[in-house]
Amino acid sequence: MWRGKLSFKIMENDLLKRITVDPNMYHGKPVVRRMRYPVKMILDLLAAGMTFEEIIEDYPDLEREDFQACLLFAVKLLKSSFTSVQAK
């Protein structure tokens, strides 16, 4: 079991490296691989019901792992937001 958790953590770290935040790009908002695809836009498209394949058809620079990275980023952000709110 421990080995599985370790490999999941490594995978998480690799995915999160796909999300970049640069104050000089897109007003400092998180984007996918410095390509000016905002994480919020990807999440909005997924929330609207588009599949990974449909989004890639419209934005061929994106890869399946980019969507996983955006979802993971959102989960991490929500966890930290709710943790800090509950701690107050």
Angle made by CA atoms 31, 34, 39, in degrees to the nearest 5? 15
Q: Is residue 65 scored above 80 in pLDDT? A: yes
Pick the CATH number of 2-87 from 1.10.10.10, 3.90.79.10, 3.90.1150.10, 3.90.100.10: 1.10.10.10
Which stretch of 6-20, 54-68, 72-86 has the lowest confidence by average pLDDT?
A: 72-86
- 72 pLDDT exceeds 50? yes
For residue 71, what are its two tokens? 């979802």
pLDDT in tens, 5-54: 657 677 899 999 999 999 998 899 999 999 989 999 999 999 999 999 99
Q: What is the pLDDT of residue 4?
A: 66
Which pTM value belongs to this model? 0.81
